[in-house]
Structure 1
């Protein structure tokens, strides 16, 4: 049957992946995406693809549609079943760097998505748009849809064991630790509990069973209120530390022994120190949303700071092609990539937590919080969405760039407009959907944070008073 052209949801093809609500990411759209992905892989002369999926209720069925379509088009498919995204990456790298993951990461249960890698690289924005155009054509021409049948989640023990063996070979704890791990009902919790037990740790597991209903909230550890149970349990159990993984396990948030949440940029600084102690004068890569503290600390540790646009795919690609110059990279969103001769060059939240634990276990400091004494806490806002009030985001960014000479700040245009001051920074970017602007501010004190925010509002106040007003109220 010929389908309406207007039914195709082009907006779900984003800068880093494909992600959308289930009422638009339908089985028919997934089948069209599978056809387009098959075409892209075959154009690159790829014949074997590794396939996995997360804990979401529709993920096994969507993976089945992908599997059937790939095989119909002549691709050999290695099916991992329900797994974490880092586990998918691990096996994809054994098969030419080709893998597809059905996941919406930390999004609510009403969403799903697809992300992939081809010949060792994550999908670029250009490749995603190629798939979008091809998928739209297939969608319009579909004559026979693959029947959608609810599939159970399958956990394949042999793949889990091999991935855990790799982690166990890499990580060496000088002493056992007491750890609280929160899986947020995603697909990575099972791996976390298993490896911590293998390493001899005392484990307190929270929400580590996969449950695509996500009964309490979305599997997003970057939201502080989602970590209340983790923080309370760390204090109650007098654990050495705790960590939470997002829905597919490529991001992590850690808390110290007091139950205090460690901001991503402070954790990034610790990881930079760990890598630069062994390999000084190498690059450490970070995204534009990280605080000026990151730049200062990398230089202090003898490293070379290198700022990139936001997006873990850009982070991974830069590191992979740095010829070993970049030993580590991190994002404010909680993605961390080790490239110091250990790790595998992709973002793995569990692996990052294990590296922090290893460093703590061999450190004279007995407390996790002591590792951060020399990495000062910052006063900062989280990523905040601001309405555009029907103004085009590109025009707003161009105007604030043109106005920036009015204040004493260093301008960076890698991704949006970032203004760096001696003691903080602010950034304004177009959101991935284009419907909002996102802003974030960071400073050494609460008063200075407010001043930096007021600077941005001042630059926008004449032409965009509504946006300026919202920036003043951003928390």
Structure 2
């Protein structure tokens, strides 16, 4: 038996497609066969499997588990929950180092996919392509694995609550906060979590519904924060917390309804971590504000810029021993007293702890950050076959001109006005760009420089 995946679903960081078009239960079965083959040939057998609240997820889970078992894996089915609960299962269960979460993350309801952990670390890039090669050759291990349900939710919630160790309950009791899970997979966890927390809590859209009737579960889109802002204002709460569909990205609004960008949120965490872990390394992706790197250094930490993508950040944190990482998209990675994977629920608990330890509300912490003039992420289509060639041509011209440039993931150019970034999307036929300055005039000059490079490659923004 052989299987061909649709060429568009094997992505850089995960496997993702549109159900009924590019993604079918047969793909889930084949993925299970290929992944279990990798696990078994590495001398292991146990695989944890979880799924999010999308309508297609239970069907895909059944097929995935069947495929895993057919290649000899013993499956621990943790059931419905956020992606970080799957990561926690792999990190905490005895003899488990591998896992798969079925999730469409923050994508439209008709999409779904798979995020994987292999040998305790992220599984991405060439490894994902290798799953396709195994399937196309039918090069699968044969076996008769087992499958059993396991309840890990209570242990996971207890571990989340441990993020408040050392924090006086009466200090949390004075805080008020809203939680919006957007009908995503984090809802049941938040309900249990809040039951164990002091303070005033307002819960929004916690029932799981894969059609996302309240709003789309993507906290990086400002319009999706409207209900959260309203709840914070009506309840006169200190801040609000928003989660994406699978609970690995966090959005925050302060008591005045202002949304914190992902890099601003990371600056708050950096201050808290570095006060307790002097000199720690903090990693942020190449899209991140220059103010973050300056802030980390000012606090006595080591700031490291790295490639965009949650898998890249997790891998670099393991390599360097960094205690904190983050992306502008709202992924937060805490490894000072946690596992180093992106867990928005744990980050939410740690934000509560940080507010108490730092002795200031989120609004005051935000006011203390430098005001920068930043573009949103600019996206424009370029043929898949051309996108990396464009980046290479831009890089070559900049090198010839002696530009101050970081080229680990596209090109990020620093000038007296600030910086601009141009990179190729790893998942779409797109180029993306961003720029930041301390003035509108400086930002305009940065965009002019970006446009000149694009024009030299025959592209208009």
Q: Same fold (TM over 0.5)?
A: yes
State the partner residue of 1:18. Answer: 15
State the partner residue of 1:240. Answer: 238
Shift of 1:418: 1.0
> Which sections of structure 1, spanning at least 5 residues, go unmatched?
142-154, 471-475
1:347 correspondence with 2:332: no
State the partner residue of 1:338. Answer: 334
State the partner residue of 2:136. Answer: 136
State the partner residue of 1:170. Answer: 163
Shift of 1:175: 2.5
Shift of 1:361: 2.3
Stretches of 4+ moved more than 4 A in 1? 405-409
CA contact (8 A) 1:316 1:346 kept: yes
CA contact (8 A) 2:2 2:136 kept: no
1:114 correspondence with 2:109: no
1:29 and 1:390 map into 2 onto residues whose CA distance is: 24
2:25 and 2:124 map into 1 onto residues whose CA distance is: 24
1:406 and 1:446 map into 2 onto residues whose CA distance is: 28
State the partner residue of 2:50. Answer: 52
State the partner residue of 1:437. Answer: 431
The superposition leaves residues 314-355 of structure 1 with CA deviations (integer Å, 9 ceiling, x where unpaired) of 111221233x3x111111111111111x12211100111111
State the partner residue of 2:62. Answer: 64
2:404 and 2:363 map into 1 onto residues whose CA distance is: 32
State the partner residue of 1:39. Answer: 37
Q: How many residues align?
A: 445
Cα distance change, pair 393–2 in 1 and its aligned pair in 2 (3 A): closer
Equivalent position to 1:402, from 396, 403, 409? 396
Equivalent position to 1:310, from 304, 308, 324? 308
Cα distance change, pair 199–433 in 1 and its aligned pair in 2 (3 A): closer
Shift of 1:21: 1.0
2:11 and 2:327 map into 1 onto residues whose CA distance is: 18
Of the structure 1 ranges 432-441 and 56-65, higher mean CA displacement relative to structure 2 is found in 432-441
Equivalent position to 2:286, from 277, 285, 288? 288
1:314 and 1:300 map into 2 onto residues whose CA distance is: 25
Task: Compute the RMSD of aligned alpha carbons.
Answer: 2.1
Shift of 1:407: 7.2
CA contact (8 A) 1:231 1:242 kept: yes
Shift of 1:170: 2.9
TM-score normalized by structure 1?
0.89
Shift of 1:397: 1.0
Cα distance change, pair 460–369 in 1 and its aligned pair in 2 (3 A): same
Equivalent position to 1:382, from 376, 379, 392? 376
Equivalent position to 1:415, from 404, 409, 412? 409
TM-score normalized by structure 2?
0.91
State the partner residue of 1:161. Answer: 154
CA contact (8 A) 1:292 1:423 kept: no
Shift of 1:192: 1.9
Cα distance change, pair 406–457 in 1 and its aligned pair in 2 (3 A): farther
1:360 correspondence with 2:358: no
* Secondary structure, aligned partner of 2:152: helix
Equivalent position to 2:6, from 2, 5, 9? 9
Shift of 1:406: 8.2
CA contact (8 A) 1:197 1:203 kept: no
State the partner residue of 2:217. Answer: 219
Of the structure 1 ranges 376-385 and 112-121, higher mean CA displacement relative to structure 2 is found in 376-385
The superposition leaves residues 351-395 of structure 1 with CA deviations (integer Å, 9 ceiling, x where unpaired) of 111111111123332x31111233123222222221226871122
State the partner residue of 1:450. Answer: 444
CA contact (8 A) 1:315 1:330 kept: yes
State the partner residue of 1:123. Answer: 123
Shift of 1:33: 1.1
The superposition leaves residues 231-278 of structure 1 with CA deviations (integer Å, 9 ceiling, x where unpaired) of 122112111100100010011011100110001111111111111111
1:66 and 1:30 map into 2 onto residues whose CA distance is: 5
* Secondary structure, aligned partner of 2:38: helix
> Which sections of structure 2, spanning at least 5 residues, go unmatched?
141-148
1:390 and 1:463 map into 2 onto residues whose CA distance is: 15
Cα distance change, pair 210–461 in 1 and its aligned pair in 2 (3 A): same
Of the structure 1 ranges 374-383 and 278-287, higher mean CA displacement relative to structure 2 is found in 374-383
* Secondary structure, aligned partner of 1:321: helix
Shift of 1:69: 1.9
1:123 and 1:349 map into 2 onto residues whose CA distance is: 20
Cα distance change, pair 378–97 in 1 and its aligned pair in 2 (3 A): farther
2:430 and 2:379 map into 1 onto residues whose CA distance is: 6
2:39 and 2:110 map into 1 onto residues whose CA distance is: 29
Cα distance change, pair 262–407 in 1 and its aligned pair in 2 (3 A): farther
1:179 and 1:12 map into 2 onto residues whose CA distance is: 38
* Secondary structure, aligned partner of 2:219: coil
State the partner residue of 2:146. Answer: none
